[in-house]
């Protein structure tokens, strides 16, 4: 879940980690430039096609945000489930996510035990709760996740 949250921070441009040395900082800078290019291409695509082009231009500040932060946030919201599936695709049946997060009631929540995913992997008529992401760590500020991680080392 921490790696998943870190990926979310990187994609959304909210990662606080800058690197321990010059090589790390250079790689980080190169990654950020690549993400700007990728999201610049996505911006051009979504604002030039379809009936929502003008509304999206307004939402994304007519391209005046060179980092595309709002677009990156929207992309993550739309694709976080797919990223979780990619991370957990090699997990075996019976592997569980360490927190009981599946279900709508915290008192009866269960662990994500189907390849670290909620549900049994089978689609349910009228619901969309198969393969949901069992964590919201990606919406917890990174420094708070670091505090929790550091506290575990004490």
Q: What is the pLDDT of residues 34-62, one digit of tens each?
A: 999 999 999 999 999 878 888 999 999 88
Mean pLDDT of the chain: 79
Q: Is the pLDDT of residue 82 over 80?
A: yes
pTM strictly above 0.85:
no
**E strand or H helix that includes residue 5:** helix 2-12
- Which tokens sit at 135? 């964590």
Please give the pLDDT value at position 25.
92
């Amino acid at each position: 879940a921490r790696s998943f949250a870190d990926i979310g921070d990187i994609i959304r441009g909210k990662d606080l980690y800058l690197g321990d040395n010059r090589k790390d900082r250079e790689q980080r800078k190169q990654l950020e430039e690549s993400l700007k290019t990728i999201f610049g291409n996505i911006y051009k695509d979504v604002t030039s096609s379809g009936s929502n082009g003008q509304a999206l231009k307004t939402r994304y500040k007519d391209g005046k945000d060179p980092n595309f932060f709002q677009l990156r946030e929207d992309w993550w919201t739309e694709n976080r489930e797919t990223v979780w599936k990619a991370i957990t695709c090699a997990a075996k049946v019976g592997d569980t996510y360490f927190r009981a997060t599946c279900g709508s009631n915290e008192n009866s929540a269960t662990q994500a035990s189907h390849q670290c995913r909620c549900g049994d992997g089978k689609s349910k008529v009228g619901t969309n709760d198969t393969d949901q992401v069992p964590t919201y760590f990606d919406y917890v500020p990174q420094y708070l996740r670091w505090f929790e991680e550091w506290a575990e080392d004490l």
